[in-house]
Amino acid sequence: MEFLYEYGLFFAKAITIVLAVGAIVALIASSAIKQGAKKGELEITDISEQLQDIEDEMTHHLLNKEQLKEKEKQDKKAAKEKEKAEKAAAKNKSDEDEAEYEPKLFVIDFKGSIDAKEVSALREEITAILLVATEKDEVFVRLESGGGMAHCYGLAASQLDRLRQAKIPLTVAVDKVAASGGYMMACVADKILSAPFAILGSIGVIAQIPNFNKILKKNDVEFEQLTAGKYKRTLTMFGENTDEGREKFVEEIEEMHELFKEHVAENRPQLDIENVATGETWSGKKAIEVGLVDEITTSDDYLCQASKQSKVIGIKYATKKGLAEKLSKAASLSAESFLGKLWQNNRIFPS
């Protein structure tokens, strides 16, 4: 009986603590929602500066003291000459002339999931760029996706198309994979780069659905499904599918495939769309032969070259964890620690 009493006391204390922690977290979450807590913010990275720091560090390790002094001397001389030339150019320009403009290369990373939920951040990044970019700038997207839901990737492609509509040059680099929905996005670009062994293509549509109707029948389980509209549900997981339903489902898939083909053909008119819209994929080296990409290179090589002519800037919309989420995790760990101590102190198992 003493064991049961101690166990009951321990359980009561534990439940009280957990409920109290839950109530506190709920209050904080409610307060955060009412105050309209900010979901995320832009993170801007000077990639040009990062690359320059790497170059300087490598140079420092490779050159001896005399060579370093000579290099520093030459760098200072070059900097002075550049400054002098800029001042002279500015002096010779009339008030109506434009000031010297340094082109910018805005870099975005998109690593897509099946439902392309990353489009929420993408739309924020695109909007930020459109507010400041000009036609002299360029947007560079490092894209990685094996595809997913057609309507989700359609929205992602539309976000990239906003850049095209604004006449801002768009380059997409595929280091690993841009298949199906991934290529739906990539084909919007003015130029597509691919690593030699990257996977591209898969211009097709697939749908799969299991059916458990025979298992249900075998176990005398009835399944009812009520719909309004002849084709509200064409195929079902638990009911008995019909040939008419299958035909309608295939018709819908074919319609989506045609939309996909039209989208690719519109953005890359040089393609033989019937030749590449078979659902198959190609490696980068083969993809350039069939016209899916324009150049074989990696994103790293492109950025290193671009940094010599443009200011390279990384743009990322980062979603911050809310206060409620942070406190919830902290509370969970604290509760776990407390319960562990309570367990030890009560010693509910007799020694």
Give the residue numbers annotated as catalytic, written as ranges.
Answer: 180, 232
Closest CA to 209 of 255, 246, 182: 246
Cα 55–chain centre separation: 29
Closest CA to 315 of 131, 91, 112, 70: 131
Q: Residue 107: exposed, middle, or buried by beta-carbon count in 10 A (0-12, 13-18, 19+)?
A: buried
Q: Torsions phi, psi of 23, nearest 5?
A: -65, -40
| Strand order through the sheet with 199-201 | 177-179, 199-201, 281-283
Indicate if the alpha-carbon torsion angle 195, 198, 203, 207 is positive or negative: negative
Closest CA to 278 of 180, 148, 176: 180
**CA 104, CA 314: separation in Å to the nearest integer?**
10
Helix/strand/coil percent split, the chain, to 5: 55, 15, 30
**CA 304, CA 107: separation in Å to the nearest integer?**
12
Angle at 155 between CA 106 and CA 192, to 5 degrees: 45
Structural contact between residues 192 and 186, judged by C-beta atoms closer than 8 angstroms: yes
